[in-house]
Amino acid sequence: MDSTEHLLDPELLPMLEWKMDLTLSDETMVKVRKSPWPTPPLGDPDSRGVSREEILVQNQMAGADEPDVRCLLYKPLEEADVLRPGYLHMHGGGYLFGEPEGSDATNLKICAELGAVVVSVDYRLAPEHSGLGPLNDCYAALGWLHNNADELNVDVNRIGIGGESAGGGMAAALGLKARDENEYAVCHQHLTYPMLDDRTGSDQNPGDPLVGEFIWTRPHNQYAWGAYLGDTPPAAPQVPARAESLEGLPPTWMHTVALDLFRDENIEYAKRLMAASVPTDLSVYPGACHGYQGVVKAAVSKRYTRDFMEALAKGLGVINR
């Protein structure tokens, strides 16, 4: 296949140095986790008028002996006369990598600028943990946010969920689980190029040759889904794209980009949401690929930050930002 570098926004060309050429496998996971992209230093919450603390959420899934779930909790320091929105965040990393600290800058920004209480989940990672465990972690955190809403001064009718890449896929899966369990309300789902379909990049579904050259490739995707699912059959809610119905899901903001491996599965999911009468805002940027926001000074990355925050404010019912 010819390279698609000529389709990449010129401001994003530094990303060409970030290619992960290593073949993912159980044996290479330790090396990859230690070497690829170091976690940026944590921001200063006090300077943003925010508190940040580590909490442990008890995992109370029926009939299961599940471990507590580590989360980062962000709260505005300023007292509010009205109830605040809540936002449950899941980090990216292909279900294989990542931790809440890697999304600290964004979650500080959400808390400070939208006045939202943010919980970022350190869900269990594959291949060490497969099956429903990671999704159960996120569901437990959603329950904790609801059950502690009074203490947190959070409006239970304004709790949204979201994430990026695998975190977006986890958020979509959580949206389906929350709908089906009908225990905790979700007002909005905020999905940035979410990882939704285990079939993407397979021999049976290789997809458009113009996508998937950079950062996250077809072999990466197939290994990651196999590690995440383990012996669990590929089905919803873990694989959101396999859900029979998307009716009853919360209003959704879906963001994807033209060169991302997930582009077409994202667009298809958004179309299915619209067909199910779910209010859906779909944005597709040209000239960008998976992880492009890492080039923070690029105009397209700044556009994303603006659109992300405006859409999240709307989804959480924040006015007069």
Q: Six-digit token pair at 210?
A: 């113009």
Nearest partner of 311 among 74, 53, 114, judged by Cα = 114
Q: Are strands 117-121 and 188-192 parallel, antiparallel or unpaired?
A: unpaired
Q: Which of 9, 120, 260, 301 is catalytic?
A: 260
| Residue 40: DSSP 8-state | P
Q: Which of 89, 146, 220, 290 is catalytic?
A: 290
Q: Which of 146, 165, 190, 220 is catalytic?
A: 165
Cβ neighbors of 5 (< 8 A, separation 6 or more) are 13, 16, 213
* d(C-alpha 189, C-alpha 167), whole Å: 11
Residue 277 bears catalytic tag: no
Q: At residue 311, what are phi and psi to the nearest 5 degrees?
A: -70, -35
Cβ neighbors of 233 (< 8 A, separation 6 or more) are none
Q: What angle do CA 64, 133, 138 make, to 5 degrees?
A: 105
One-letter amino acid at 179 equals R
Q: What angle do CA 214, 167, 161 make, to 5 degrees?
A: 140
| Residue 72: DSSP 8-state | E
One-letter amino acid at 168 equals G
* d(C-alpha 213, C-alpha 205), whole Å: 16
User: Does residue 71 contact residue 55 with C-beta atoms inside 8 Å?
Assistant: yes
Q: What angle do CA 110, 113, 114 make, to 5 degrees?
A: 70
Answer whether the bond into residue 127 is a cis peptide, omega within 30°.
yes
Q: Is 19 helix (H, G, I), strand (E, B) or coil?
A: coil
Q: What angle do CA 175, 204, 2 make, to 5 degrees?
A: 100
User: Does residue 72 contact residue 155 with C-beta atoms inside 8 Å?
Assistant: no
Residue 290 bears catalytic tag: yes
Residue 260 bears catalytic tag: yes
Catalogue the active-site residues.
Answer: 165, 260, 290
